[in-house]
Amino acid sequence: MRRRTLLGLAAASPLATALAMPRLARAESWPDRPVRLIVPWPPGGSTDTVARIMQPRLQEVLGKAVVIDNRGGASGSVGAAEAARAPADGYTWMLAYDTQATNETVMRLPFRTMEAFAPVCLVADGPLALVAHRSTPWRSLPELIEDAKRRPEQINYATSGIGGLAHVATTLLQQQGGFRLTHVPYRGGGPALQGALAGDVPLFMSNVVIISQHIREGTLRPLGVTTAGETRHVPGVRSFAQQGFGGFQAPTWWAMLAPARTPDPIVRQMHDALVRVLADPEVKGKIEEQGADVRATSPEQCGEFLRAEIEKWGRVIRDNGIRTDS
């Protein structure tokens, strides 16, 4: 029996090798044509900004064009669904935003993130900040909270969409602080920023990447940040944890993902290319100037991070009854 088994395995090994050859050949020649990078948000938002900072250098490292494909809608889920059903051949990638973790609980999606995607790299993370338009009367978080308690649900705040980390984090803040605001969701960070700058909404909870310039210019006034303590990206502004919300943390993040079943050698090649890109002083400097910290993790670390985020924020969403119509 043992001899027949060994003979059978020996006979099968050439076939197994032959079947593996096309995948190996594809990995060795990858990329041999332009690569598509899906950004599941409209132009002008933070994910688009980070993608466009990386794009020129990534093209140089890969030796092929990197075409950014903005597929905004439904808090990033439209673009994510497009990426999930793309061929797993190494020519479609997605730069995911923090909503990739929250959407799984908030929405009924046709996929599960950890089943539909292969983690490649946690590109960067950074603080969220609650900012007020300069025309508003609030000079501090306590002033806003006092006013909101006097006028429950009469003060609006904008985010990039329903169920995103900015929305979920602000919901948790209200729950812990005993005040109530009214959520005004936009179709992405770019449109939300325009609404905030125009004063259409008095408050905006956002990652710092798309608002740092406007904080420096004084158009938007920061009231608090979601890091454990103060952050160099918004100097002089105390965290929510330091202002009475003990233990509160909600960092935003960006991660590169590939459709599941993308050959591992190709995933590794893209990871190595990203590490080179993110180590470039110009790229790293531009991302950090925007208000984020480069991470450049391994695929395994990226996967562990994603699983933890899905579990953590899924629990907050369920506890607070957040739905796509909330």
Query: With 0-12 CB in 10 A as exposed, 13-18 as middle and 19+ as buried, what is 16?
Result: exposed
Cα 279 from Cα 270, distance rounded (Å): 14
Write down which residue in 196, 214, 243 finishes a domain.
243
Residue 228: give its domain's CATH number. Answer: 3.40.190.10
**Centroid of chain to Cα 262:** 21
Judgement on whether residues 61 and 147 belong to the same structural domain of the protein: no
- Tell me whether residue 5 is in a domain: no
**How confident is the model over 171-206, as pLDDT tens digits?**
999 999 999 999 999 988 889 999 999 999 999 999
Give the tokens for residue 249.
Answer: 């943390």
Of 131, 202, 191, 132, nearest in space to 161 by CA: 191
**How confident is the model over 33-44, as pLDDT tens digits?**
999 999 999 898
Judgement on whether residues 113 and 182 belong to the same structural domain of the protein: no
**How confident is the model over 261-316, as pLDDT tens digits?**
999 999 999 999 999 999 999 999 999 998 899 999 999 999 999 999 999 999 98
Judgement on whether residues 41 and 78 belong to the same structural domain of the protein: yes
Judgement on whether residues 115 and 133 belong to the same structural domain of the protein: no
Number of domains in the chain: 2
Judgement on whether residues 174 and 161 belong to the same structural domain of the protein: yes
- Tell me whether residue 186 is in a domain: yes
**How confident is the model over 241-254, as pLDDT tens digits?**
999 999 999 999 99
Judgement on whether residues 91 and 176 belong to the same structural domain of the protein: no
Q: Are 208 and 253 in contact (CB under 8 A)?
A: no
Judgement on whether residues 226 and 190 belong to the same structural domain of the protein: yes
Judgement on whether residues 14 and 91 belong to the same structural domain of the protein: yes
- Tell me whether residue 213 is in a domain: yes
- Tell me whether residue 162 is in a domain: yes
Quote the longest CA-to-CA distance of the chain.
85
Tell if the pTM clears 0.85, that is, is over it: no
Residue 310: give its domain's CATH number. Answer: 3.40.190.150
Write down which residue in 226, 243, 260 finishes a domain.
243
Judgement on whether residues 122 and 137 belong to the same structural domain of the protein: no
Judgement on whether residues 112 and 161 belong to the same structural domain of the protein: no
